[in-house]
Amino acid sequence: MTRHRHSRHRLRRNARRIRRDGIEPMMILSDDLEFAPIVLVTLGQAMWRYRSELAPLSMTFLILTGGAILHAAYATWWPTVLIVTALTSWALAFFGRWVNLTRPAERGYAAVTVMLAGGWTAAATAVGPFTVPLPHVLAMGAFVAGLPWWAHRRRRARVRVERTLAAWPEISQAVGLAGSRIQSAVVDLWGYRARVALARGQTVEDVVSKLPALESALGTRRGAARVQPVPERANRMELRVIETDPHADAIAWPGPSVSSITQPVKLGLFEDGSPVRVSLLRRHALVGGVAGAGKSGGVNVILADLSACPDVVIWGIDLKRGMELLPWASCLDRLATTAQEAQALLRDAVAVLDGRADLLAQQGQRVWQPRSDAPALVILVDEYAELVDEAPEAVRHADSIARRGRAVAVTLVAATQRPSQKAMGHGAVRSQMDVRISFRVRERRDVDLILGQGMLKGGWHSHTLNAPGKFLVSAPEHDIPRRARTFLLADDAVQRTAVRHASNRPPLDDISVAALETAPMEADRDASSESSSAVPCEVRQAASQDAENTLWAALRDAPTEGLSIDDLMRRTGMGRSWVYYRLQEHAHSGRAAQVSRGRWRALPDS
Ligand SMILES: Nc1ncnc2c1ncn2[C@@H]1O[C@H](COP(=O)(O)OP(=O)(O)OP(=O)(O)O)[C@@H](O)[C@H]1O
């Protein structure tokens, strides 16, 4: 007692000296201080930190204490304890959802545990908690009921997230977001998300630029953290950490989601499982991304939905000799696979546009309302850059459609790898695209190329997409960067869908057909300046067959080191794309192969 008074006195004296001398206060561990309180505080902190893991033990202790008190004071109350237990178990089993026990297994566990605990308490109330075998039963019960608790995945995830976010003050300091606060956090199937209040002057863009540092501080894998603004508050954001990728597996196309172009098509699913719906009515769309990133897959989903709508006519341009769009031929009102056909198709689309615009002007209407007898016209262009290369004249028509087509429901859906000004033909097409879909891009600067200026800075990181089919979509209804994955249509699904939808495709309306019938006069004028399209069809076919034969002969007679694409272009007189796609076809059917980089020859036994 005297020793305690001495040390308290010494402490007070030290504190006075510190204040007097202006020395910064700090914790000093010395044998002067009492050791026991520090141990107690540390122990208390550890127990608090591990309170979830210790819960079965704490509960056992509480039940034991409760049993002892009840036995000592109210030994005759054991039937009441039993009744309360039965009622609570029943309520948990049937209404546990109200207390966040979302799964049947969780409700069952809670009901059984309450039954065991209540049963034991009733017995302890009646005969005393230390009467054999009650202590043994309690120990066994605690262990058995504790096992599912300790093993429960969602509980462990919640605890891990709580601990991570408890360190937010240090984390935010370390990454340069000091002063921001976590407001709430929710653990879900794929990871967790937290609402963060930003400090004064901090913006979501600041956080986006610090994402890699944030991922490191949170201890997640690279690319696991996402940041989304909260539209109604500039000083709030949602931080999402994806621990298990919900897009790890391909998502099969579930069937058409629309029956009219006036409804938004369903492209795929966001990471939270919600559908990506985008309206294509009176909107042009640009689909971009590196080769193999899933553009054609995305176009397939658009086609599968649009071909289910009886109020839209679809035209296609595929200068890869129809490789991508040919499977949909039965649903396409028109398909162009050569530069000349593409040019004619776009020219006709402009004629349709003009015809419709004239009618609307006469009737004093502003927009074309798609119906099955007055359908919208959607023109799908696969690999737009190819069109610019091979049919530069066609780009003029595409430009016209991009600028004037919306009101009359004549719209473009253009897919291309890298929509640079050059690839888009230096026209207005790119700037007129209202829906931008970006699959993975190789370089950061390509993000802005597809999605628009400043998008990279705003957190649209399509260079970090890590699997084919994953995309970001920017459209009037999608102004937040959220990762999504398109549905996947396997080849046989494309075939089946095309066959099923082919029977209810609408023809063009009378106004558009009449516009096309009066268009040839203009077309002839066009044609006179284009020697290629003036060549009759049979002559073109014969020329193509000649080139085909020359290519095959060249490949067959090629030296062992093969022939380069330039050699083959020279010999056949055809363009690079033509040679390239014919080689791909030969390679596909096992007739020719690349002997070294860029050099080809026929296979010996073909
Ligand atoms: N949503 C998806 N889910 C799973 N896999 C996909 C998905 N989309 C595409 N893939 C896979 O990626 C491969 C390449 O996709 P796709 O042909 O669509 O790419 P691309 O961007 O069109 O390439 P290219 O420009 O060479 O035509 C496909 O063969 C398919 O296996």
Reading the block at residue 95, the tokens are 């209404």
Residue 444 belongs to some domain of the structure: yes
Q: How confident is the model at residue 12 (pLDDT cuts 50, 70, 90)?
A: low
Cis peptide, bond prior to residue 310, ω within 30 of zero: no
Nearest CA to ligand 1 atom 4: 250
Residue 531 belongs to some domain of the structure: no
Nearest CA to ligand 1 atom 25: 291
Asked if 434 and 496 sit in the same domain, the reply is yes
Weakest-pLDDT range from 146-150, 160-164, 172-176, 477-481: 160-164
Instruction: Report whether residue 297 contacts ligand 1, using a CB cutoff of 6 Å.
Output: yes
- Among the candidates 215, 242, 269, a domain finishes at 242
Nearest CA to ligand 1 atom 8: 469
Instruction: Report whether residue 488 contacts ligand 1, using a CB cutoff of 6 Å.
Output: yes
Asked if 54 and 75 sit in the same domain, the reply is yes
Asked if 332 and 395 sit in the same domain, the reply is yes
Q: How far is the CA of 470 from the centre of ligand 1 (A)?
A: 10
Residue-wise pLDDT for 289-300, tens only, equals 998 899 999 999
- Among the candidates 198, 217, 242, a domain finishes at 242
Query: Would the ipTM clear 0.90, i.e. be above it?
Result: yes
Q: Taking 90 as the threshold, does the pLDDT of residue 259 lie above it?
A: yes
Angle, CA of 570, 603 and 557, to the nearest 5°: 40
Asked if 458 and 416 sit in the same domain, the reply is yes
Nearest CA to ligand 1 atom 7: 469
Q: What's the pLDDT score for residue 22?
A: 45
In sequence order, which ranges of 24-133 are alpha helices (DSSP H)? 35-49, 51-74, 78-95, 104-127
Residues 407-426, mean pLDDT to the nearest whole number: 87
Residue-wise pLDDT for 27-79, tens only, equals 444 555 566 778 888 888 888 888 888 999 999 999 999 999 999 999 999 99
Q: What's the pLDDT score for residue 100?
A: 78
Q: How far is the CA of 461 from the centre of ligand 1 (A)?
A: 19
Q: How far is the CA of 190 from the centre of ligand 1 (A)?
A: 24
Q: What's the pLDDT score for residue 317?
A: 93
Total domain count for the chain?
A: 5
Q: How far is the CA of 467 from the centre of ligand 1 (A)?
A: 9
Asked if 570 and 513 sit in the same domain, the reply is no
Q: Residue 242 phi/psi, 5° resolution? A: -95, 110
Asked if 492 and 470 sit in the same domain, the reply is yes
Answer yes or no: pTM beyond 0.80. no
Instruction: Report whether residue 310 contacts ligand 1, using a CB cutoff of 6 Å.
Output: no
Q: Which of 488, 491, 492, 588 to mutate to test the pocket of ligand 1 (most atoms within 8 A of CB)?
A: 488
Please report, as a single letter, which amino acid is at residue 434: D
Residue 533 belongs to some domain of the structure: no
Residue-wise pLDDT for 307-349, tens only, equals 999 999 999 999 887 778 888 988 999 999 888 899 999 999 9
Quote the CA–CA distance of 471 and 294 in Å, as a whole number: 9
Instruction: Report whether residue 266 contacts ligand 1, using a CB cutoff of 6 Å.
Output: no
Residue 532 belongs to some domain of the structure: no
Binding site, annotated residues for ATP: 289-296
Q: What's the pLDDT score for residue 8?
A: 52
Mean pLDDT of the chain: 85
Closest ligand 1 atom to residue 470 Cα is 1
- Among the candidates 151, 172, 198, a domain finishes at 151
Q: What's the pLDDT score for residue 27?
A: 45
- Map residue 187 onto helix, strand or coil: strand
Residues 117-122, mean pLDDT to the nearest whole number: 95
Q: What's the pLDDT score for residue 347?
A: 93
Closest ligand 1 atom to residue 290 Cα is 21
Reading the block at residue 571, the tokens are 């010999």
The edge-to-edge listing of strands for the beta sheet with 233-242 is 181-187, 191-197, 233-242, 225-230
Reading the block at residue 118, the tokens are 């209540």
Nearest CA to ligand 1 atom 24: 291
Q: How far is the CA of 469 from the centre of ligand 1 (A)?
A: 6
Closest ligand 1 atom to residue 417 Cα is 25
Instruction: Report whether residue 507 contacts ligand 1, using a CB cutoff of 6 Å.
Output: no
Nearest CA to ligand 1 atom 1: 469
Instruction: Report whether residue 392 contacts ligand 1, using a CB cutoff of 6 Å.
Output: no
Instruction: Report whether residue 300 contacts ligand 1, using a CB cutoff of 6 Å.
Output: no
Asked if 15 and 146 sit in the same domain, the reply is no
Instruction: Report whether residue 337 contacts ligand 1, using a CB cutoff of 6 Å.
Output: no
Binding site, annotated residues: 289-296
In sequence order, what DSSP letters do the residues of 45-70 get, joined into one string? HHHHHTHHHHHHHHHHHHHHHHHHHH
Q: What's the pLDDT score for residue 242?
A: 85
Asked if 407 and 466 sit in the same domain, the reply is yes
Q: What's the pLDDT score for residue 24?
A: 44
Q: Taking 70 as the threshold, does the pLDDT of residue 178 lie above it?
A: yes
Asked if 259 and 371 sit in the same domain, the reply is yes
Parent domain of 203: 155-242
Residue 204 belongs to some domain of the structure: yes
Q: Taking 50 as the threshold, does the pLDDT of residue 539 lie above it?
A: no
The better pLDDT of the pair 537, 437 is held by 437
Nearest CA to ligand 1 atom 14: 292
Asked if 339 and 463 sit in the same domain, the reply is yes
Q: How far is the CA of 21 from the centre of ligand 1 (A)?
A: 73
Give pairs for 582-589: CB < 8 Å, separation 24+: 582/548, 582/551, 584/323, 585/321, 586/552, 586/555
In sequence order, which ranges of 529-589 are alpha helices (DSSP H)? 531-534, 537-556, 565-572, 576-588
The better pLDDT of the pair 588, 112 is held by 112
In sequence order, what DSSP letters do the residues of 463-527 get, joined into one string? GG--STTEEEEEBTTB-S---EEEEE--HHHHHHHHHHHHTTPPPPPHHHHHHHHHTHHHHHHHH
Q: How confident is the model at residue 1 (pLDDT cuts 50, 70, 90)?
A: very low
Instruction: Report whether residue 193 contacts ligand 1, using a CB cutoff of 6 Å.
Output: no
Q: What's the pLDDT score for residue 23?
A: 45
Residues 562-579, mean pLDDT to the nearest whole number: 76
Reading the block at residue 470, the tokens are 């994953």
Residue-wise pLDDT for 132-145, tens only, equals 899 999 999 999 99
Instruction: Report whether residue 288 contacts ligand 1, using a CB cutoff of 6 Å.
Output: no
Q: Which of 271, 290, 295 to mutate to test the pocket of ligand 1 (most atoms within 8 A of CB)?
A: 295
Instruction: Report whether residue 273 contacts ligand 1, using a CB cutoff of 6 Å.
Output: no
Q: What's the pLDDT score for residue 544?
A: 62
Quote the CA–CA distance of 545 and 584 in Å, as a whole number: 17
Burial letters 41-60, b for 16+ CB under 10 A, else e: eeeeeeeeeeebeeebeebb
Nearest CA to ligand 1 atom 10: 468
* CATH code for position 322: 3.40.50.300
Q: How far is the CA of 590 from the centre of ligand 1 (A)?
A: 22
Instruction: Report whether residue 535 contacts ligand 1, using a CB cutoff of 6 Å.
Output: no
Weakest-pLDDT range from 90-94, 199-203, 270-274: 270-274
Compute CA distances 518 → 163, 345, 395, 514, whole Å: 73, 15, 22, 6
Q: How far is the CA of 378 from the centre of ligand 1 (A)?
A: 22
Q: What's the pLDDT score for residue 489?
A: 92
Q: Taking 60 as the threshold, does the pLDDT of residue 270 lie above it?
A: yes
Q: What's the pLDDT score for residue 265?
A: 95
Q: What's the pLDDT score for residue 36?
A: 72
Instruction: Report whether residue 323 contacts ligand 1, using a CB cutoff of 6 Å.
Output: no
Q: How confident is the model at residue 542 (pLDDT cuts 50, 70, 90)?
A: low
Residues 536-555, mean pLDDT to the nearest whole number: 69
Asked if 23 and 144 sit in the same domain, the reply is no
Instruction: Report whether residue 250 contacts ligand 1, using a CB cutoff of 6 Å.
Output: yes
Q: What's the pLDDT score for residue 227?
A: 87
Q: How confident is the model at residue 372 (pLDDT cuts 50, 70, 90)?
A: confident
Residue with structure tokens 């690349």? 594
Nearest CA to ligand 1 atom 2: 469
Instruction: Report whether residue 229 contacts ligand 1, using a CB cutoff of 6 Å.
Output: no
Q: What torsion do the CA atoms of 421, 426, 428, 432 make, to the nearest 10 degrees?
A: -20
Instruction: Report whether residue 284 contacts ligand 1, using a CB cutoff of 6 Å.
Output: no
Asked if 195 and 88 sit in the same domain, the reply is no
